[in-house]
């Protein structure tokens, strides 16, 4: 099994392969990371952060998603805005920090179980995803919309619904996309077209 070193970006959210994630970059260590990735044409890994202890930097969990920078801009507040595109889920081994607090880790791709059509019982979730994408202002090309795919639908729900970080990480590590949908469905209230995540 071949591992390659990547910069790690611990967050409170996730992105899946095929997903779009806008990020606001302002900390010097992550500005340096973005500069390095753009200069060297390299990807980095978005992952859920473990809770920080005693003021330390938050440590990344053991799975994340390798992402590519597809757009960038200077935001009105002076921060750097970038948009990343999810490439593949990866296992993270041997996480370590540089002196400036930036995490690096050795990563290897993790395959998802075979995809399949979205079961009829989850059909109401398609409208929820469409509304969430529009609400977030994400620009998915029509050729990249796959509402009938259990993998695509479960990934977008995990990314866009306001689940806590631990729940998002658990869903990211779930290999079976239909099982992911089964876990998500009870956490959503659906009432006359309105949706609400259960706490």
Tens-digit pLDDT profile for residues 8-41: 999 999 999 999 999 999 999 999 999 999 999 9
DSSP reduced 3-state for 78: coil
Cβ proximity of 88 and 109 under 8 Å? yes
Q: Spell 44-65 as b/e; 16+ CB within 10 A means b.
A: bbbbbbeeeeeeeebbbbebbb
Instruction: Report the chain's mean pLDDT, rounded to a whole number.
Output: 91
Question: Residue 57: what pLDDT?
Answer: 58
* Segment 184-197, tens digit of pLDDT: 999 987 554 555 56
Rg (CA), the chain: 17
d(CA 199, CA 197): 6
Candidates 1.20.120, 3.30.700, 1.20.58, 1.10.8; CATH matching 120-197: 1.20.58
Contact 47, 63 (CB under 8 A): yes
Dist CA 25 CA 44 (whole Å): 14
- Statement: residue 180 has pLDDT above 50: yes
Residue-level pLDDT at 94: 94
| Token pair listed for 131 | 């509304």
For position 197, what pLDDT does the model report?
60
- Is residue 58 within 8 A of residue 102, CB to CB? The reply is no
Q: Which fold has domain 4-109?
A: 2.30.130
Of the candidate ranges 88-97, 116-125, 183-192, the one whose mean pLDDT is the lowest: 183-192
Confidence of residue 128 (pLDDT cuts 50, 70, 90): very high
- Distance between CA atoms of 116 and 96, rounded to whole angstroms? 37
- Residues whose CB falls within 8 Å of the CB of residue 149, separated by 6 or more in sequence, listed in order: 115, 116, 117, 118, 177
User: What pLDDT score was predicted for residue 51?
Assistant: 76
What are the sequence ranges of the domains in the chain? 4-109, 120-197
Are the C-beta atoms of residues 26 and 80 closer than 8 Å to each other? Answer: yes
Percentage of the residues of the chain whose pLDDT score is greater than 70:
91
The whole-model pTM stands at 0.90
**Band of pLDDT at residue 143, cut at 50, 70 and 90:** confident
Q: In terms of C-beta density within 10 A (0-12 exposed, 13-18 middle, 19 or more buried), how is residue 79 classed?
A: middle
Share of the chain above pLDDT 90, in %: 82
Q: How do residues 33-92 score in pLDDT, each as one tens digit?
A: 999 999 999 999 999 998 766 555 578 999 999 999 999 999 999 999 999 999 999 999
Cβ contact 92:64 at 8 Å: yes
Phi, psi of 18 (to 5 degrees): 90, -5
pLDDT at position 142 is 86
Calculate the CA 62 to chain-centre distance: 14
The CA–CA distances, whole Å, from 170 to 14, 131, 179 equal 10, 24, 12
pLDDT of residue 199: 46
């Amino acid at each position: 099994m071949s591992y390659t070193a990547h910069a790690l970006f611990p967050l409170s959210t996730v992105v899946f392969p095929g997903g779009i994630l806008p990020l606001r970059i302002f900390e010097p260590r992550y500005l340096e990371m973005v500069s390095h990735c753009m200069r060297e044409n390299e990807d980095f890994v978005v992952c859920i952060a473990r809770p920080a202890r005693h003021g330390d930097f938050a440590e990344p969990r053991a799975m994340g998603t390798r992402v590519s920078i597809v757009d960038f801009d200077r935001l009105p507040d002076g921060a750097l805005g970038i948009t990343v595109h999810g490439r593949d889920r990866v296992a993270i081994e041997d996480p370590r920090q540089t002196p400036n607090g930036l995490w690096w880790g050795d990563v290897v791709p993790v395959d998802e179980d075979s995809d399949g059509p979205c079961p009829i019982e989850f059909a109401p979730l398609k409208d929820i995803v469409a509304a969430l994408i529009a609400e977030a202002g994400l620009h998915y090309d029509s050729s990249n919309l796959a509402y009938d795919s259990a993998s695509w639908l479960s990934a977008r729900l995990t990314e866009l619904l306001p689940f806590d970080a631990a729940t998002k990480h658990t869903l990211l590590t779930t290999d079976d996309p239909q099982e992911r949908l089964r876990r998500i469905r009870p956490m959503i209230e659906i009432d006359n077209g309105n949706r609400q995540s259960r706490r």
